[in-house]
Structure formats: C-alpha cells, structure tokens
Amino acid sequence: MEGAASATASASPLCPAMSELNGGGAEEAPAGFLSSRGGRIAGNAKGLLDKAFDMYIGDPFDADHNPEGILNFGTSENKLCFDLIQERVSLVSRELHRLLNCEIRISPSSSILVIDGYLIPAPYYGGINSKTWLYGGIQVTSTLGLVLKDSNVADSPVLRRHFGVSNYQFFFFQGIRVRALILINPHNPLGDIYPAQLLKECLEFAHRHTLHVIMDEIYMLSVYDDTTFTSILSLESLPDPERTHFMWGFSKDFGMCGIRVGVLYTRNHEIRKAVNQLAVFHGCPGPVQHVLSQFLSDRDWLNNVFFPTNKRRLKEAQNILVSGLAEMGIPVLKSSGGLYVWADFRKFLKSQTFEAETDLWWKLLDEKLLISPGKAFCCYEPGWFRLVFSDSVDKIYLCKSAFYKTVNISFFSLPHPTSPRQYIFL
C-alpha cells in the first residue's frame, strides 16, 4: 500500500453517499483543539443504525424488568451458546485471576489496512464504509451488484449466479485508484457462501488487476447446514499470496462480542510491519491471550460439545424465524451461514423507495422491534431487511407479533413457548 488517498470517492450507483449513511454528514468539531483529521473523526455523524441502537440501549427488552422494551434483532450476536461459553471462559478467568492476583481487563485490538479505493459486492456490511472513512478518509470506490431477481427467493443462490467476476469490466472510478477487493464469506447480510470455484475466480480477477484481496471470514464457523465452506486459507495455492489477506475474530463464531480480539493473517511482510505500527497500543493483552488460548486448546470440547451444539441451535433458530416469516408471506433468501436472514419486505412498502423502507423501519421501532434496513447495507433495491435469529424462542415469537402489528396482517394461531424462559436449546 502506498498510503491513503488525498481525495475521497463519490458514492457509487449502488451505495448512498457516506454523509447519507451517516444521517446527514459530519458535524464541525470545535476549532483549536484538534487537527483537521481529528476534527473529522470527532465530528463524524452517527449512522442510520447507530441512531436506532442508541434507542435500544436506552430501552432494552427484559422479560422480567422491561417487557415493553425494544427487541434487538438487528445486532449480529450469537446468544444461543452463551451458557457454554460463559462456563468455560469464566473457569479459565478465575484460575488466571488466582495466578496473577489481578483483574483481567479486556482491551480492544484493531488494525486497519489503508487503501485508496476498493471494490465490494453489494449488499454488504455497512460498517466497512464508516471504518475505512474514519481511519483512512476513503469511501467505497464501486460496488459489484448482486441482483436479487429470482421469483423463488428462498432457492436463489445469489452469489453463485450473479457475481459475474469473469465478465466484470475493471475501471478507475473518478480518478481514484482501485487497490483492493473486499469479500465477506459467509456473506453479510445475505448469509450465502462462496463456492470454491467462485472464490478462485474472485482471486484470479484481483490478480489480473493487481488488487489486494481482503477476505473477511468472521462467520466461518457459523455455517449451520451441509453447504461446504471453503476458507481462503484452505486453498492449495493462491494467485497472489502477497496481496491476499485473511481476517477473523472471536465475536461472532464464539458469541464473544465484548472481547474484541481479532486475527489478521497475511504473508506480506510490509503489511505486517505497517499493521504492527498501527496496533502498537491496541495489542491483545497477555492475560486475554492466555484465556483464549486455553479456550481454544480444548479441542475435544470444541469438536464434540460446542461446535455441534452451536450448529444445531443456529439451524433450529433459523427455521423458527424463517417459518414465522413465511406464514406472513415474507420470503427470505436461502442462507447457509451467519446469524441472520435477508428478508423481502418489498410488498409492504407504500412505494418502492428507500424513503418508504425507512418509514417501515421506524414503524417497527415504534413497535419496539429493531432490525436492519437494506439501505444500511448499500442494497440497490429498497424493501430488504436483515433479521438476526440467534436468540431465544420467546423473543422470536415477540418479533413476529411486532411484525403483525406493523404490517396489519391477521394473526394466525401458533403454539407459543409455555414459559418466557423456554429457549431454543431446551
């Protein structure tokens, strides 16, 4: 990498401008205290999802203490195996606490790869935009559209048939150099998985145009059906190993969103040097590394208890949510991985516009239900929403009830949990 671009790219046809995603643009920071870069970061306006999440933080659902609070089906967090993780991590933490006679404090670990501009298939996790803008002052250069046109949405393998890497015309976007291709596998928000052949085509495409490939496999262990997942690390050979970079973290696959520990694997010595400079004050503390290494070293427990239990609970939860949506006439894209489904609410929009999508989203928030609108993922078409399913049965039924109230669908009689504490894994 040769450094950050001095200019920023305009919004691509498939993705709103950064200011639009951030809810209207950045505010001016007080003059005299910060540099221009510091002022830009400090004044960065909160995004569309941030506003809704702030509402949730102020009024979270709790079956006992706040039953009228907001149900959060927007944050991609796996709560299904917290009982297993809590017991295992707490045990290691207590032993380490006795050993060191100290309190373990979790410190975030972060690293950023600064580039001039990048390509990414849309829709995609919108946090990529805000973080590359925050750290590097850049925006997405262009998006490769994943067109959702199949009439039978549930059987549409979008990534397999619409990515079109071999026919994609590479171009420079308004003078900004395209330096990287970012891929998320399993995909967020679609939940689809890149077949091995398509993955290889993507790598060849990047190699032909001398692009770095940043492979985000944050959900690689959250595949819940029999689809074969191919990690970029499992390929026998890479077209351009020096420009191929892998990322993963503990937050999704192990339900440890608060621990903030991730992995960047790259063979590029210069990239490692640059990241080490950026991460010098953000390294993972030794005590945390010890806890996680002890956690990962018990392969017998992971392979025979955690992984099969997590896969089963994810599949059960996904089936419950998808079945409930189907009874309301809401189709979803067929998914195999991740903690969410991509649902089609287009018929409930007053008009096929992103304004109407936002109106529906706010109505759902009024009914105390937080999900994520397609606009936040740079979806080219209004009416798509991401719903997280990795939560309890009782909350999924409450989620369905909120949908009924919002879209005025007649309520069908369905069996409900006998207790608000009846979870999926019971």
Q: pLDDT tens digits for 71-99?
A: 888 888 888 887 887 777 665 555 545 54
Window from 44-53, 102-111, 176-185, 227-236 with minimum mean pLDDT? 102-111
Give the count of alpha carbons within 13 A of 158, CB side only: 27
* pLDDT at res. 286: 81
pLDDT at 397 over 80: yes
pLDDT of 361 strictly over 70: yes
Q: What is the pLDDT of residue 372?
A: 95
Closest CA to 370 of 388, 356, 355: 388
- Cβ within 8 Å of residue 110, ≥6 positions away: 260, 262, 278, 279, 282
Rounded Cα distance between 81 and 90, Å, is 14
What was the pLDDT predicted at 408? 62
Please name the CATH architecture into which domain 48-84+301-407 falls. Answer: Alpha-Beta Complex (3.90)
State both tokens at 75. Answer: 């944050």
Is pLDDT above 50 for 422?
no
Give the 3-state secondary structure of residue 171.
coil
pLDDT at 288: 84
For the residues of 253-301, what is the DSSP string, one character each?
Answer: HTS-TTT--EEEEE--HHHHHHHHHHTTTSPPPHHHHHHHHHHHH-HHH
Evaluate whether 314 touches 80 at the Cβ level (below 8 Å). yes
399: its two tokens: 């989620």
Amino acid at 34: L
Tell me the two tokens of residue 325.
Answer: 């949506």
Phi-psi label, residue 419: left if phi above 0, alpha if psi -120 to 50, beta otherwise: beta
And the tokens for 206? 């990047």
Strand order in the sheet with 384-388: 340-344, 384-388, 372-373
Contacts of 269 (CB under 8 A, 6+ apart): none
Nearest 5°: CA angle at 317, between 356 and 408?
35
Greater confidence (2 vs 224) lies with 224
pLDDT at residue number 143? 54
Where does the pLDDT of residue 128 fall: very low under 50, low under 70, confident under 90, or very high at 90 and above?
confident
Q: Is the separation of the CB atoms in 98 and 120 below 8 Å?
A: no
**Is 41 exposed, middle or buried, given 0-12, 13-18 or 19+ CB atoms closer than 10 A?**
middle
The reply to whether omega before 189 is within 30° of 0 (cis) is: yes
* Residue 243 CB coordination number (10 Å): 23
Is the distance from CB of 278 to CB of 111 less than 8 angstroms?
A: yes
Name the residue ranges covered by the structural domains of the chain: 48-84+301-407, 118-295
Domain 118-295 has CATH 3.30.450.20: no
Distances (CA, A) of 345 to 126, 326, 330, 360: 19, 11, 6, 9
Q: Which residues pair with 136 in a beta bridge?
A: none
pLDDT tens per residue across span 306-358: 999 999 999 999 999 999 999 888 999 999 999 999 999 999 999 999 999 99
Q: Say if residues 362 and 381 touch (Cβ distance below 8 Å).
A: no
